[in-house]
Chains A and B, each alone.
Chain A
Amino acid sequence: MQVAPQSGLSLDQAPPISIPFRFFLMAPLFGFLAGILLFPESATEAERIIDRWSAQTLASTHLITLGFLGSVMMGAMLQMLPVLAGSRVPRSGLVAGIAFATVFPGITGLASSFLWPVAWILMGSLALLAIGLTAFLTGAGTSLIRAKPDPTTTAMRIALAGLSVTATLGVLLGSNHALGWWIGSRPGWTNTHALWGVATWIGALIAGVSFQVVPMFQLTPPYPRITRWLVPLLFLLVLLWTAARALPPRLLAGLPEAADRILFAVVALAAGYAILTLRLQSRRKRRVFDGPMRFWQVGLVALLMALAALLSPANLAHREWLLGVLLLVGFAVSLVTGMLYRIVPFLVWFHLQSALLMTGQDIPHMRGIIPDNAQRLHLITHSVALLGLTATAFFPPLLVWAAPLFSLSMALLGWNVARATVLYRKHITGTEQPHTAHP
């Protein structure tokens, strides 16, 4: 990463800390709600809830993907693109304002529409989401277009393309649901929507960021050069898979089998990435407790388990629930939480540094902004919740414990982020005297 001082991060150009933090504070709230929606009233209701098409599962899935993962992504990219890509987001205040104002009501409306379907609320929510995501994609996309191409920026471009496709399919499926017109097989198109979301949006983004973050923060060896083809190859495979499923079988014999084989290639690629990253991390130089790294380890192991579940020929009664839990709560939420525990302390520290440098005030060490013990407690809670939700696939009544635990884990995350915010404000307001002081 080479960023020329004049063109990259300038303190006057970096967005104020309130921009990413409004997203970071809202994200755990949506995660918390996702857990609450899954609370079963009884052990027998649990079996019904964990069906893939149940209202609760659909609502929770979108609260986690758009509400939690999407919010953190938006907050992080708006602030970190200048750092990681050396290119600022133009009008970031406006972009963030539009995104925040539309995406949050949109997600709430969408989730409620699964539970209490009202056509105009669903259509209105989809419209709000479309506006907010478009604003974000335009801002982030503009920044990325101007950025120097490297494995990370390439992966981010693919991730944003993946988000666009996922969102478009989502709007189509949602308007299907609301207006009662059908574009085809709903399970089929939902699977396409899900794969684009998990692989080309979430997977590509996490991989791309990890190429920089893992060696930088954990003092591991760098990723091997061949990994710069990982995300482009993933994108190509998902495109081919989509085409193989969309084309009529009479066009080319053996298309359905081709789709399965392509999916297998995607699985192999993902497994390769997970194993490589775990190995790099095992060769790290620093051996002290590192919360973010532990979350990453949990997430990568969950990814490997998900891939195994996907390929397993065993007749799993609740395979889709298992996949959803392992991929979303296990892989995506764990890794994004790990990233949040890096970004939040860094941003608080960096903004305090730039605001207080001339005043001689003490600035807290970055490691103390979200204390290790707080991260450890969250890690344990999250891991137990994940185990519980996973085991629910084999013993549904466990949901009675697992869902509240997941909500608790999200509450702990929210608490940690809120504390960091309060710490920032306490330090900042401690210096508010200049224009009232007597000369």
Chain B
Amino acid sequence: MSSSEWPAAEVSILDVSNLAPPEPLERALERAQSLAPGEAFVLVHRREPCLLFPLLEKQGFEYATRMPEEGRVEVLIRRREEPCR
């Protein structure tokens, strides 16, 4: 998934940048698990949530990150259309 697929404003945003660990991880996973196939949301954090990525991969999500400015990381998380093999 590339950042050229970055959607327009309709996708919901979950901002965890003011939460301390482990809440960003926990909230992000909760939100991700509520996604329908093909549905997406944008996670906003102050650093790259590298611990989230392997959990997302294993659970059948795709993601892309971008850093629009210093101290702000946006991660687009989408549940895959097909079920995970």
Contacts and interface: CB of A to CB of B under 8 A. Distances in A.
A354 B58 contact: yes
Q: Is the interface of B mostly helix, strand, loop or mixed?
A: loop
Interface string A316-349: 0000000000000000000000000000011001
A5 interface: yes
Contacts of A1: 47-48, 50
Contacts of B59: 357-358
Interface string B30-63: 0000000000000000011011011101110000
A11 B51 CA distance: 10
A49 to B, nearest CB: 42
A328 to B, nearest CB: 28
Interface residues on A, range: 20 to 34
Nearest to B53: A5
A5 B73 CA distance: 14
B18 A219 contact: yes
Interface string A151-190: 0000000000000000000000000000000000000000
B68 interface: no
Q: Which of B18, B57, B58 has the most CB of A within 10 A?
A: B58
Nearest to B17: A219
B20 interface: yes
Nearest to B67: A2
B11 interface: no
A366 B55 contact: no
A366 B19 CA distance: 14
Given A5-B57, A357-B59, A358-B59, A216 B50 contact: no
Nearest to A10: B54
Nearest to A288: B20
A11 B48 contact: no
Contacts of B53: 5, 9
Contact of B26 (A9, A357, A365): A365
Given A286-B20, A367-B22, A357 B58 contact: yes
3 shortest interchain CB distances as A-B pairs: A366-B22, A5-B53, A3-B50
Interface of A: 1-3, 5, 8-11, 14, 83, 86, 216-219, 285-286, 345-346, 349-350, 353-354, 357-358, 365-367
Given A5-B57, A285-B18, A357-B55, 13 more contacts: A1-B48, A3-B50, A8-B50, A9-B50, A11-B55, A83-B51, A86-B50, A218-B20, A346-B21, A346-B22, A366-B22, A366-B26, A367-B22
